[in-house]
């Protein structure tokens, strides 16, 4: 389980490095393809609730969003970014909050 989640973190890091070269649609691609949707299969197939690698994945995701929007996110801003778009957020979901309900 540790190796699989570490591989997912490395894939996200690679994707963020490539998405940072895009300007207009990088955040949309990150939100819809590379963040929580990429991890949903892993979280549905194995019990990884409260795994430390999920926290590391969220940290990489937060740093990636900071790079893409060119803004350091405070804790409050990161919580607001995880809200759905209709509630004023960016719609980027925390993997740690999804893990318990996914399995």
Q: Can you give the pLDDT at residue 42?
A: 82
- Any idea where the domains of the chain sit in the sequence? 2-102
pLDDT of residue 74: 92
> Can you give the pLDDT at residue 46?
80
Q: Distance between CA 55 and CA 6 in Å, rounded? A: 11
Which is nearest to 4 in space by CA: 59, 36, 43, 32? 43
103 residues of the chain, pLDDT tens digit each = 788 888 888 998 998 888 888 877 888 888 888 878 778 888 888 888 888 888 998 999 999 888 888 889 899 999 998 888 899 888 888 888 888 787 6
pTM metric for this prediction: 0.82
């Amino acid at each position: 389980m540790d190796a699989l989640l570490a591989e997912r973190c490395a894939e996200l890091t690679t994707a963020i490095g490539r998405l940072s070269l895009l300007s207009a649609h990088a955040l949309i691609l990150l939100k819809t393809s590379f963040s929580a949707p990429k991890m949903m299969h892993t979280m549905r197939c194995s019990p990884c609730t409260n795994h430390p690698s999920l926290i590391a994945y969220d940290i990489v995701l937060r740093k990636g969003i900071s790079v893409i929007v060119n803004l350091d996110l405070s804790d409050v801003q990161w919580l607001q970014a995880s809200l759905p778009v209709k509630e004023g957020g960016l719609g980027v979901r925390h993997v740690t909050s999804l893990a318990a309900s996914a399995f």
